[in-house]
Amino acid sequence: VVEMQAPAGPSPGQTCVLILIFTVLLQSLCVAVTYMYFTSELRQMQDKYSQSGIACFLKEDDIPWDPNDEESMNTPCWQVKWQLRQFVRKAPRMKKLWVRK
């Protein structure tokens, strides 16, 4: 009498490897989606900041600069103009350094 056994399922080792592969693929997918989302958000923020910075220079600024007024110092236009002013002030010093080399 010959006994016929039903084919056995995957071994525990194979099951573990399959679960591990599935987990890694799922994590990779989550990282990829998160990366794409935050890259898109960052690009939108950069575009918005860039446009607001350019808009500050294209429009007439009726708001006076008052260094003692904390509210006027927190406006995006004031911050952009302040950064540009700092850069312009440092530019002649940088030029002198470049000439010396």
Domain count, the chain: 2
CA distance 44 to 54: 15
Determine the structural domain holding residue 95 and report its residue range: 61-101
Instruction: Look at the pTM and tell me if it is higher than 0.85.
Output: no
Q: Are residues 73 and 93 in the same domain?
A: yes
Claim to verify: residue 87 and residue 50 sit in the same structural domain: no
26-35 pLDDT tens trace: 999 999 999 9
pLDDT one-digit tens code per residue, 48-67: 776 666 667 666 555 555 66
Do residues 23 and 54 both lie within one domain? yes
Inside any domain, residue 23: yes
Greatest pairwise CA separation for the chain in angstroms: 103
Residue 40: inside a domain: yes
Q: Residue written as tokens 């890694």?
A: 24
